[in-house]
Amino acid sequence: MSAQANGDGPQEPDEGSSVPVQRGNAGEVIEVRHGMFGARNGGDTSGYGGLVRTVRMPGESVRPYGSWFDEVADELEGALEEQGLAPENAVEKTVVDRGELTFHIAREHLPQVARTLRDDPALRFELCTGVSGVHYPGETGRELHAVYHLRSLTHNRLIRLEVTAPDADPHVPSIVDVYPTNDWHERETYDFFGLVFDGHPALTRILMPDDWQGFPQRKDYPLGGIPVEYKGAQIPAPDQRRSYT
Amino acid sequence: MATSTHAPAGVRETTEGTVYDVTGGDWDEMAAHAAKSDDERIIVNMGPQHPSTHGVLRLILEIDGETVTEARAGIGYLHTGIEKNLEYRTWTQGTTFVTRMDYLTPFFNEAAYCLGVERLLGIEDDVPDRANVIRVLLMELNRISSHLVAIATGGMELGATTVMIFGFRDREHVLDLYELITGLRMNHAYIRPGGLSQDLPPGTVDALREFVKKMRKNLPEYDALCTGNPVFKARLKDIGYLDLAGCMALGATGPILRSAGLPHDLRKAQPYCGYETYDFEVPTVDTCDSYGRFLLRLEEMRQSLRIIEQCIDRLEPGPVMVGDKKIAWPAQLALGPDGLGNSLDHIKNIMGTSMEALIHHFKLVTEGFRVPPGEVYTAVESAKGELGVHVVSDGGTRPYRVHFRDPSFTNLQSMAAMCEGGQVADVIVAVASIDPVMGGVDR
């Protein structure tokens, strides 16, 4: 289903293979990486330093999405039109991947879309399971993502909303009005990613100390740690170790 | 009653008002002093090191006499950065971290995380039946041990120490089973992406049957001790009230939601690990209070025993890890004189006969496997509610981002709604009925 939806791009993984599927040009490029072990200085005797890997997330899907996904997409588009909001302005793209439905929403329309999803009888996503932040430093202009999972108990469905904001303007409207449960969740995402949820009643740090500097779960924020000696050898801190890009 | 006009020992004036440092015996003195001041508002800081706040939870209560007018929770004292740490370890090593989040529900954490990784890999359907049965078995044992702690600590906070002793006595039986099966009482990392780290050791089935028999005898003791006890009922009934609308708005799930009468349980609604094939009921009550949540936890333990019995009957011999050797952990574990480790046969093979097997072992253990890019959300019904995991992969050997929607975190938000307008003593009962575990709240 997702392979078809993504056009020429991805193939379903081969039977019994964990080799990553090379996606076509359809995906969303989030980063281009060079080399293999992260070694930047010194000569490259292995040749692995010349490797280039384009990191692509699953791209936009085309109709039909399959399952109940079309019904939800239709209902959402219809409901938004009724409110005088052109669906193509609110829903930037729709991704169906691994049996999950994602709507990428333009951030200024998020509260209205969330309210529609909650209140429309045919949609009725009553339960929000909070917001999760993701930082894609390589995705210029869309570095910060806020990901919401909405559950409908009435229809027994789960969808994902994804909103992006650039690093330079890290603002997303708050949906605490619509889903009060997001109070702490938005504070957590602010705490870790620096995403400012406009309209939140009291956007303060929640897990980190109040006077903490920086946003720890951003990719450019180091994990920290000290080298450890083990049997005479120095083991570097986890974020300093050689890694496979 | 202290009538002294002296200021109590720990008192200082700040721009926010008078701050009293009270540690116990000087309470009367402080109250007398405060009564003399013009400010009628008293804010009591409870915790983070208070035995009744379930770990390092800080409650900030604004009180008027014995009535709580405002309640706020301060959290974060147990934040360990597990989600950030996961981004620097392989997918398999991730289980070692997530098992430590809510340390009373390690198997739920592991299962939710592994289901996410498996969906990203596209191997959900390849996980062997035996692995799924054992996962269900462990999750239900875990539900019992978690509920036992909830009831035991809740009882202790009321002064019912017998309930506490009984609860921890029975939890000990569950921990013995964990130790038998995984080698550890907690922090197991037993459920791995693709299956389990190892099969059940010999004698497990007998131990399980023995356990079920014991629990069938012991569970009614809680009924006898608490359910009809007038003191217990007086303390719990109508306390910590949160109705269905409140639950939905605040995102409360698990026993709190079911105490408002909605039979929502992800094991029935969105089954995983084969839950749709088990015969069990989702109990509900419509009292919306702490007493209802206590009754629910008792009934859920009985239902878990039913599921465990069904698991025992379904344990057919077979593999416990996916067949794909590019994912499955290469080492065959065996019990040696110095504990569990790589089996001698496996060592002999990789060190003596097959260079390729050695390379394979080395690559999989040090580099790990790659997971195709994408994001998924998987959720399990943990003992406390919906435990959701948002896993993002960039196609590498490490998670790009893992976020846990821990039910304790979300449910704890409802503390204010449950406590405001009630008595100070009832705050303890309400928080106990939420059953927050700070390891999960703060992660």
In the beta sheet, which residues pair with residue B63? B42, B68
Q: What is the per-residue pLDDT for B213? A: 94
Give the separation between CA B244 and CA B435, rounded to whole angstroms.
18
φ, ψ of residue A146 to 5 degrees: the values are -115, 125
Backbone angles phi, psi at A121, to 5 degrees: -60, -30
- Categorize the per-residue pLDDT at B23 as very low, low, confident or very high, splitting at 50, 70 and 90: low
**A54 — contact with chain B (CB < 8 Å)?**
no
**Which of A20, A180, A188 shows the shortest C-beta gap to B249?**
A180
Strand pairing class (B42-46; B58-64) = antiparallel
* B122 contacts A13? CB cut-off 8 A: yes
B396 to chain A: which residues are within 8 Å by CB? 244-245
What's chain A's Rg over C-alpha atoms?
A: 21
Q: Is the pLDDT of residue B280 over 70?
A: yes
What is the domain class of A61-198 according to CATH? alpha beta
- So what's the pLDDT on residue A40? 60
Cα B285 from Cα B260, distance rounded (Å): 7
Name residue B92's amino acid.
T
B324 closest CB neighbour out of A18, A58, A134: A18
Q: Is the CB of B326 less than 8 angstroms away from the CB of A156?
A: no
How much is the pTM? Answer: 0.88
Q: Map out the domains of chain A as residue ranges.
A: 61-198
If you count them, how many residues does chain A have?
245
| Type of residue numbered A4 | Q
Chain B residue closest in CA terms to A216: B84
- Residues β-bridged to residue B374: B393
Chain B contact for A26 (CB, 8 A cutoff): no
What residues in B contact A180, CB-CB < 8 Å?
Answer: 249-251
Whether A128 contacts chain B with CB within 8 A: yes
Residue B73 DSSP code: E
Instruction: Report helix, strand or coil for A111.
Output: helix
Asked if B386 lies within 8 A of A208 by C-beta distance, the reply is no
Q: Which residue is it, tokens 């081969």?
A: A14
Instruction: Read off the pLDDT of residues B288-325 as tens digits, 9 standing for 90 and up.
Output: 999 999 999 999 999 999 999 999 999 989 888 998 88
Percent of chain B whose predicted confidence (pLDDT) is above 90: 52
Q: What is the mean pLDDT of residues B117-138?
A: 93
| Among the listed residues B400, B401, B406, the one whose alpha carbon sits nearest the alpha carbon of residue B379 | B406
Give the start-to-end residue ranges of the domains of chain B: 10-74, 82-323+369-441, 340-367
Candidates A151, A154, A185, A193, partner chain B, best to mutate (most B CBs within 10 A): A151
Beta-strand runs (E) in chain A: 28-34, 52-57, 91-97, 100-105, 127-135, 144-152, 157-165, 171-173, 196-198, 228-230, 233-235
B235's enclosing H/E stretch is helix B230-236
Strand partners, A29: A56
Which residue has 């990203």 as its token pair? B120
Gap between the Cα atoms of A6 and A58, Å rounded: 8
Percent of chain B at pLDDT > 70 equals 95
Residue A37 has what pLDDT? Answer: 64
Inter-chain touch B76–A223, beta carbons under 8 Å: no
Compute the C-alpha angle A184/A187/A191, nearest 5°.
140
**Whole-number pLDDT of residue A42:** 60
Q: With an 8 Å Cβ cutoff, is A207 touching chain B?
A: yes
Tell me the three state secondary structure of residue A82: helix
Q: What is the pLDDT of residue A39?
A: 57
| Alpha carbon distance B415, B419 (integer Å) | 6
> Which among A207, A208, A221, A239 is the top mutation candidate for probing chain B, defined by the most B β-carbons within 10 Å of its own β-carbon?
A207
* Binary contact (B373, A239; C-beta < 8 A): no
Higher pLDDT, A197 or A34: A197
Task: Give me the count of residues in chain B.
Answer: 443
pLDDT at A4 > cutoff 50: no
CA–CA min distance B378, chain A (Å) = 10
What residues of A are in contact with residue B442 (Cβ under 8 Å)?
A: 207
**Residue B85: strand pairing partners:** none
- Percentage of chain A with pLDDT > 90? 49
Check residues A155 and B41 and name the one with the higher pLDDT.
A155
A21 interfaces chain B, CB cutoff of 8 Å = yes
Distance CA B131, CA B195 (A): 6
> What is d(CA B2, CA B264) in angstroms, rounded to the nearest whole number?
53
CB contact under 8 A, A183 and B413: yes
Looking at CA atoms only, how far is residue B297 from chain A in angstroms? 22
From B393, which residue of chain A is nearest by alpha-carbon distance? A57
User: With an 8 Å Cβ cutoff, are A100 and B248 in contact?
Assistant: no
* pLDDT at site B257: 93
Cα–Cα dist B163/B306, whole Å: 23
Q: Do B324 and A160 touch (CB under 8 A)?
A: no
Q: What is the ipTM of this complex?
A: 0.86
First to last CA, chain A: 29
**Do A217 and A239 contact (CB within 8 A), yes or no?**
no
Contact B390 A20 (CB under 8 A): no
Mean pLDDT of chain A: 84
A20-65 pLDDT tens trace: 444 445 678 888 887 766 556 666 666 777 778 888 888 888 888 8
**CA pair distance B154, B247, nearest whole angstrom:** 21
Report cis status (omega within 30 of 0) of the bond before A166: no
CATH class for the domain made up of B82-323+369-441: mainly alpha
A·B CB contacts under 8 A: 150
**pLDDT grade for A5, boundaries at 50, 70 and 90:** very low
- Shortest CA distance from B328: residue in chain A: A18
Distance of CA A165 to the CA centre of its chain: 11
* Band of residue B18 on the pLDDT scale cut at 50, 70, 90: confident
Angle at A181 between CA A178 and CA A183, to 5 degrees: 90
Q: Is A57 on the interface with B (CB under 8 A)?
A: yes
> Which has more confidence, A88 or B386?
B386
Cβ <8 Å between B373 and A56: yes
| A40 close to B (CB below 8 A) | no
Model confidence pLDDT, tens digit, residues A132-156: 999 999 888 899 999 999 999 999 9
Q: Cβ contact (<8 Å) for A55 and B397? A: no
Q: Cα-flanking dihedrals φ and ψ of residue B261, to 5°? A: 95, 0
Measure the CA–CA gap between B237 and B157, rounded to whole angstroms: 16
pLDDT exceeds 70 at position A16: no
Residues of A in contact with B248 (CB under 8 A): 126-127
- Contact assessment for residue B331 and residue B346, using Cβ atoms and an 8 Å cutoff: yes
What b/e sequence results for B261-282 when a residue is b if at least 16 CB atoms lie within 10 Å of its CB, and e otherwise?
Answer: ebebbbbbbbebbebeebebeb
> Cβ of A238 and B398 within 8 Å?
no
Determine the distance in angstroms separating the CA of B412 from the nearest CA of chain A, rounded to an integer: 10
> Is there a contact between B377 and A158 if contact means CB atoms under 8 Å apart?
yes
Strand pairing report for A171-173 and A196-198? parallel
B217-268 pLDDT, tens digit per residue, is 999 998 888 888 888 888 888 898 999 999 999 999 999 999 999 999 999 9
Contact assignment for B373 to A20 by CB distance below 8 Å: yes
The residue behind tokens 């932040």 is: A133
